[in-house]
Structure 1
Amino acid sequence: MIGLLKSQPSRPSPLSELCSALPSLPLRLQEVGRFVAANDYDATTRSMRDLAAEAGADPAAFTRLAKALGYSGWDQLRAALTEARRPSQASPFSGRAKGRRYGPDSDVALINAKLEAEAAGLARISAVSIADAAKALHAARRIWIAGFRSCRSVAELLNYELRLFRPDRVQLVGGSGPEDLDLGAFHAGEAVVVIGFAPYSRASVLSARAAHGAGATLIAIADSPAAPMTEGADHVLLYEAAASPGFFPSLTGAIAIAQSLAAVTFSLGGASTRKRLRETEVRLAATSQYVAEKG
């Protein structure tokens, strides 16, 4: 007869552990702990050195804080914080709505909170990282763009903007058929942009792995440095998807990154890209793609 196994008690969330431990910590670690608790998203996306500079603390204090909570070091605590932010696979969207009030009395407050969160998230996007990634796009022989499910809209936007001045060297993964047909077409010297947020689509992860395996330059636009499509990435461009209130994660940061990539790639092309853009505009005008404005 097989006996029933006792279920192991689940470990409390890292933020709960942190808040419970604060009173017993030394004063300096309390300050660092309160900073982490108030900036848990930044704690999962920024380096320990950057966090320490903003908190006005020694980087080693973050390691001491993690060890005081029972973790081997800061990397393990950050991994736990990242995992805690992942939505449930069974209810990735409705789970975000729990505990939030909706209705006539709260609609304006929700909108204001969302707009404030979006603005704060945009301010934390790294312009330097985008500029470096744009240089890789400029140098690439061909650019592939992979975005699926809700991220398809971001991929299509980036594909459209780049094709305005690089019409023959940009391709949407899965744009002309099943995406798995394109995954075997990646080559070294090309760039693959993969866009995603938790819960991550299988197609986006497979695209990233295929790009890395082919030796192509992998650019991941993701909500976390621990996102599966960032493994082996040459450039990781982070945006905040979960910080904004609402039932659905935010794509505002991803769109801003995509448009910034297109703008800088165009700028790097100089006179030749301006010439191709004008040629594209002539073709669009010749086929009357836009409504003529009345004088």
Structure 2
Amino acid sequence: MSPDAPLDRLRLALPELPPRLREAARYLADHAFDATTRSMRELAADAGATPASFTRLAQALGYAGWEPLRAALVEARRPPAPFSGRARARDDLPAAMLAADAAAIGALDAGPVAAAAAALHRAPRIWCAGFRSCRVVAGLLHYQLRLFRPETRLVGAEGPEELDLDAFAARDAVVLASFAPYSAEAVRTAAAARAAGAGLVVLADSPAAPVARGAAHLLRFEAGGPGFFHSLTGAVSLAQALAAAVFAAGGAASLERLRQTEARLAELARYASEGESR
């Protein structure tokens, strides 16, 4: 069975399907990723169809029901060995990776950062989100923003992420970092931000990314490269630039908060003394 077998089967069957099933099939073909991350009832509601239509569609395609079709769609999207499949032995790999990262930084667009920072500055509360390797990006942004914006939160830091997603509010800002293959957690976070009416700022590798749907601001970075791990260099650079721009937007108030934070850290002896650091 080819990786695209479920969609291939759907497209071949499309001309012969009854009108209502044809509408459900067209929706499914255009939203195959959503079908792997959302419930059948949610899909049906968005498609203007009934859940039974998706069950009948699955059966018309030769599956026992919706869940077997959904499982086939999930399997079709599963990347084959994302790391080991990219691993290659080459003597110049370190140099090639550094050159690729330098090029990725050079290709970053600073323009959208200012607009995104202005949105974060206006928000009474900022949520930082990233999953799997992008947790590093979210954690860095959270740390830097907390120095002068103490109301900043890291999704999933203090318990199940679902509790934080349920806490998103309309005036909040949600900053989400992700790249292909996009994690289900990232897709759920973006959907929760949209549902709450929060301002969504996305750091992603493509404007077509499912996490970028409905985002108020998209900061794009290149995650590819010669290494077998994806590169986070561009995402980290954008996160640092974003934090700096939010700080600048806050003016004297940001500076005063930063001074207060530094004073508390010094009082708690968070930094080694000069003698201890040698």
User: TM-score with structure 1 length normalisation?
Assistant: 0.66
1:235 equivalent in alignment to 2:217: yes
Q: Which residue of 1 aligns with 2:200?
A: 218
In 1, the alpha carbon distance for the partners of 2:115 and 2:153 equals: 21
Q: Which residue of 2 aligns with 1:186?
A: 168
Aligned residues: 205
Structure 1 residue 126 displacement after superposition: 1.0
In 2, the alpha carbon distance for the partners of 1:191 and 1:241 equals: 24
Paired amino acid for 2:89: R
Match of 1:265 among 231, 237, 246: 246
1:248 equivalent in alignment to 2:229: yes
After superposition, the C-alpha distances for 1:100-150 in whole angstroms (9 at most, x for unaligned) are 333xxx1xx211111111111111111001111011110111101111111
1:287 equivalent in alignment to 2:268: yes
Q: Which residue of 2 aligns with 1:45?
A: none
Match of 2:189 among 207, 232, 243: 207
In 2, the alpha carbon distance for the partners of 1:238 and 1:180 equals: 26
Give the SS at the match of 1:254.
Answer: helix
Q: Is the 8 A contact 1:121 1:253 kept in 2?
A: yes
Paired amino acid for 1:174: G
Give the SS at the match of 1:95.
Answer: coil
Match of 1:94 among 67, 71, 84: 84
Paired amino acid for 1:270: G
After superposition, the C-alpha distances for 1:230-261 in whole angstroms (9 at most, x for unaligned) are 0111111111101x211100000110010000
Structure 1 residue 265 displacement after superposition: 0.3
Q: Which residue of 2 aligns with 1:130?
A: 113
Q: Which residue of 2 aligns with 1:274?
A: 255
* Match runs of 1:9-24 below 5 Å: none
User: TM-score with structure 2 length normalisation?
Assistant: 0.70
The runs of at least 4 consecutive aligned structure 1 residues that moved more than 6 Å come to none
Q: Is the 8 A contact 1:142 1:170 kept in 2?
A: yes
After superposition, the C-alpha distances for 1:62-82 in whole angstroms (9 at most, x for unaligned) are xxxxxxxxxxxxxxxxxxxxx
Paired amino acid for 1:140: A
* Match runs of 1:23-62 below 5 Å: none
Give the SS at the match of 1:211.
Answer: helix
In 2, the alpha carbon distance for the partners of 1:141 and 1:119 equals: 35
In 2, the alpha carbon distance for the partners of 1:195 and 1:92 equals: 19
Structure 1 residue 88 displacement after superposition: 5.4
Q: Which residue of 1 aligns with 2:146?
A: 163
Unaligned runs of 5+ in 2: 9-76
Structure 1 residue 90 displacement after superposition: 3.2
Paired amino acid for 1:93: F
Q: Is the 8 A contact 1:134 1:261 kept in 2?
A: yes
In 1, the alpha carbon distance for the partners of 2:201 and 2:253 equals: 24
Give the SS at the match of 1:269.
Answer: helix
Match of 1:145 among 128, 134, 137: 128
**Percentage of matched positions with identical amino acids:** 54
* Match runs of 1:114-129 below 5 Å: 114-129=97-112
Unaligned runs of 5+ in 1: 12-86
In 2, the alpha carbon distance for the partners of 1:123 and 1:255 equals: 13
Give the SS at the match of 1:141.
Answer: coil
Give the SS at the match of 2:103.
Answer: helix
